[in-house]
């Protein structure tokens, strides 16, 4: 009885050492008798107990590592503090275990030396304005260096750049001066633009006023011309009507004279009536020769007879 119980317990222990359950996004590096044997992926894996052993559990997910803040001297001899974070992922678990003793420490030290090398070649202003460039250079150097460790560096980000307090005070004063300068420039530019706009508005108003005056003059001239033309046409029509009436009158008179067949005495009498009308004017004086008086007397007698 005790024999079977001991054998069962031994079997359970052997199975416990033989069966390995690997979680998702992890792998086990298995050694057999001190030598690399295989990589156990996620799921249920069986190994030989007391012969195979798990050398390392490798996390295959993307990982982040904070690099301790480092004091770096820039090209213009200003000491700044840079805080950096590295995003990396293990691509070859065997290399990450056997090619370096401590992968995290290796990435950290490599990041520190690379930051000092890159920032040491730049001045203070460039470090603030060239963060993307610094990040790209860091990522490239770290990715190339860690490739033989089975690791890929995806991103490197500078979280913060902190200059000394006196430099920060000087930068704040400089920024205030720059802001005041920009404000004055913008104010002057605004006044200039307003003056230009005002002048352009006055110019356009004067042009429009001149064009309106020109159009008004043209329209007045056209109206006066048309009025004169209408007046001339009316006068012409009136003269024509008068002339036609005169012609009709003359024609009627002539026709009446032809129909009446006047005698010499009637013609003489009409002549005398015309002379009377001419003599009625205060400024008209008519001189009648003496030898014509007898003729006029004869005409007067004829006139009375005709009446």
177-214 residue pLDDT tens = 888 888 889 888 888 888 888 888 888 888 888 888 88
15 lies in the same domain as 79: no
Q: Are residues 7 and 74 in the same domain?
A: no
Give me the pLDDT at residue 293, please.
47
Give the list of residues 6+ apart from residue 141 with CB closer than 8 angstroms, or none: 110, 114
Q: Containing domain of residue 292, as a range?
A: 262-307
**Any domain includes 9:** yes
Q: Which of 163, 178, 201 is the last residue of a domain?
A: 163
The CATH number linked to 126 is 3.30.479.30
Tell me, yes or no, whether 205 lies in a domain. no
Tell me the backbone φ, ψ of residue 144, rounded to 5 degrees. Answer: -65, -40
Identify whether 246 is part of a domain: no
Q: Where are the alpha helices (DSSP H) in 19-102?
A: 93-98
In a domain, 292, yes or no: yes
- Shared domain for 93 and 77, answered yes or no, is yes
Q: What span, in angstroms and rounded, lies between the C-alpha atoms of 255 and 251?
A: 6
204 domain residue, yes or no: no
The SS3 of residue 159 is strand
Give per-residue pLDDT as tens, 219-276. Answer: 888 888 888 888 888 887 878 888 777 778 777 766 766 665 556 655 566 665 655 5
Integer Cα distance of 305 and 263 in angstroms: 13
Quick one: 13 and 81 in the same domain? Answer: no
Q: Both 95 and 136 in a single domain?
A: yes
Residue 269: the pLDDT is 61
Both tokens of 203, joined, read: 């110019």
**CA 278/CA 49 separation, integer angstroms:** 167
Residues 49 and 101 in one domain: no
Strand partners, 132: none
Strand partners, 70: 82
pLDDT of 278 over the 70 cut: no
Higher-confidence residue of 215 and 292: namely 215
Within this chain, do residues 53 and 67 fall inside the same structural domain, yes or no?
Answer: no
State the total domains in the chain: 3
pTM of the shown model: 0.54
94: Cβ contacts below 8 Å, ≥ 6 apart: 29, 36, 39, 150
**Could you give the CA distance from residue 221 to residue 163 in angstroms, rounded to a whole number?**
81
Rounded CA-CA distance 107/149 in Å is 10
pLDDT over 60 (residue 146): yes
The reply to whether 243 falls in a domain is no
Is residue 290 predicted with pLDDT exceeding 50? no
Do residues 47 and 74 share a domain?
no
Q: How far apart are CA 179 and CA 185, in angstroms?
A: 10
In a domain, 195, yes or no: no
Picking from 163, 182, 214, the residue at the C-terminal end of a domain is 163
Report phi then psi at 248, rounded to 5.
-65, -40
Q: 153 burial class (0-12, 13-18, 19+ CB within 10 angstroms)?
A: buried
Whether 32 contacts 48, CB under 8 Å: yes
Q: Has residue 34 got a pLDDT over 50?
A: yes
Question: Are 49 and 14 within 8 A, CB to CB?
Answer: yes
């Amino acid at each position: 009885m005790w024999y079977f119980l001991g054998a069962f317990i031994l079997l359970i222990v052997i199975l416990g050492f033989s069966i390995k359950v690997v979680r998702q996004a992890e792998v086990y590096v298995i050694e057999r008798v001190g030598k690399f044997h295989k990589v156990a992926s996620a799921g249920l894996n069986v190994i030989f107990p007391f012969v195979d052993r798990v050398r390392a559990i490798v996390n295959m997910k993307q990982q982040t590592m904070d690099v301790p803040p480092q004091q770096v001297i820039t090209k213009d001899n200003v000491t700044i503090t840079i805080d950096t974070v590295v995003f990396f992922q293990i691509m070859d678990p065997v290399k990450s275990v056997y090619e370096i003793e401590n992968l995290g420490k290796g990435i950290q030290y490599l990041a520190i030396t690379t930051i000092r090398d890159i920032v040491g070649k730049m001045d203070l202003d460039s470090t603030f304005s060239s963060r993307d460039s610094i990040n790209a250079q860091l990522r490239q150097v770290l990715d190339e260096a860690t490739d033989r460790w089975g690791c890929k560096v995806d991103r490197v980000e500078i979280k913060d750049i902190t200059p000394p307090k006196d430099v920060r005070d000087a930068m704040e004063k400089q920024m205030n001066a720059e802001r005041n300068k920009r404000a004055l420039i913008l104010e002057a530019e605004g006044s200039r633009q307003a003056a230009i706009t005002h002048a352009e508005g006055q110019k356009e108003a004067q042009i429009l006023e001149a064009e309106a005056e020109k159009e008004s003059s043209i329209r007045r001239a056209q109206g006066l011309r048309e009025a004169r033309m209408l007046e001339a046409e009316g006068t012409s029509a009136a003269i024509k009507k008068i002339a036609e009436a005169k012609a009709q009158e003359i024609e009627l008179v002539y026709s009446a004279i032809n129909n009446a067949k006047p005698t010499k005495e009637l013609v003489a009498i009409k002549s005398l009536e015309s002379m009377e009308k001419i003599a009625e004017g205060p400024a008209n004086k008519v001189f009648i020769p003496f030898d014509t008086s007898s003729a006029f007397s004869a005409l007067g007698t004829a006139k009375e007879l005709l009446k």
